[in-house]
Amino acid sequence: MEKAYNIDSVLITDEHLILVIDNQEYKFLLSDISEKLSRASDMERNDFRISPSGYGIHWRLLDEDISLNGLFSKSR
């Protein structure tokens, strides 16, 4: 199975989700992409799993899923 995206790294700050995808950095405001992530604790934010296909990210403790296609469509 070919990966949709190669997610090299994920960093979550108090205000941003910062992704390195295919060696390019993308920065998203948490408040723009997810109220759950924006209001979550550091522990909740840092308990995530990248989907094996590279399609998105899942936060188990928050029951939150974000697709990369969705992120990119919101940023346009």
Q: Which domain holds residue 47?
A: 7-74
30 Cβ contact partners less than 8 Å away, ≥ 6 residues apart: 12, 15, 16, 17, 37, 38
Q: How many domains does the chain have?
A: 1
Contact 23, 17 (CB under 8 A): no
**What per-residue confidence (pLDDT) applies to 47?**
97
Tell me the per-residue pLDDT of 5-54, one tens digit each, with 9 for 90 and over.
999 999 999 999 999 998 999 999 999 999 999 999 999 999 999 999 89
The CA-CA-CA angle for residues 3, 65, 45, to 5°, reads 105
Residue 75 clears pLDDT 80, i.e. is over it? no
Strands 24-29 and 64-67: unpaired
Is 17 a member of any domain? yes
- How large is the greatest C-alpha to C-alpha distance in the chain, in angstroms? 35
For the chain, give the number of residues: 76
Task: Kindly report the CATH number assigned to the domain that includes residue 69.
Answer: 3.30.2020.40
pLDDT per position as a tens digit, 54-70: 999 999 999 999 999 99
| Predicted pLDDT of residue 1 | 66
